Structure 1
């Protein structure tokens, strides 16, 4: 698990290798990740958008951005935690992701960025 705190918002990430899909022309490796967003600040906040930078060992980079997470824009009161799971496909058995959430502070109506710590994606056989 990796964790990082930005402006009182704690991001925790766990990952798992799910398997591969392949044929004679292409193999893709499936990974899942679970993100916990914990509001340790004194203000109510809302996650409004996300940005991901996804890299694999073949030097392929993807950038993904969009509104909310998995179709939701969660509001977190002080002390609340929102957890969700998602996934990605890589062309290699090793990669990494990092990114940021954009959030709104309801107390002062300001937007702020919360960093998502870099985390590794890897198959068990690639690390042995």
Structure 2
């Protein structure tokens, strides 16, 4: 698990290779990742947008951005957290992701960016 804290918002990420949804012969490697966003501030925040940088070990870089996460723009109260699971497909057995969330402080509508730490997507058999 990797994590980082930006302006009192902690982001932690865990990954899992999805062998049952992967097809190495067709260059299709599927990974799941679980993100936990913890509000360590004294005010409510809302996740408005996300941006991902996705790197495949073959040199391909993709950028994905959009509103919310998995169809939601969750409000996270002080001391609470929001968890979600999503997925990413690569053409190789290894890659990485990093990015940022655009958050809104509900107290005064102040927008700020929260870093998503870089995490690696690696098929377990590549670690041997």
TM-score, normalised by the number of residues in structure 1: 0.96
SS of the equivalent of 1:59 reads coil
Q: CA deviation at 1:22?
A: 4.8
Return 5+ residue gaps in structure 2 as ranges: none
Q: Once superposed, what is the RMSD of the aligned Cα atoms? A: 0.8
Return 5+ residue gaps in structure 1 as ranges: none
**Number of the residue aligned with 1:33:** 33
Matches within 5 A, 1:86-125: 86-125=86-125
Higher helix share: 2
Distance (whole Å) between structure 2 residues aligned to residue 76 and residue 125 of structure 1: 37
Moved over 2 A (4+): none
**Number of the residue aligned with 2:23:** 21
Q: Deviations over 1:80-123 (max 9, x none)?
A: 11000000100000000000000000112110000000000000
Higher strand share: 1
Q: Deviations over 1:9-32 (max 9, x none)?
A: 000000000022255xx3210000
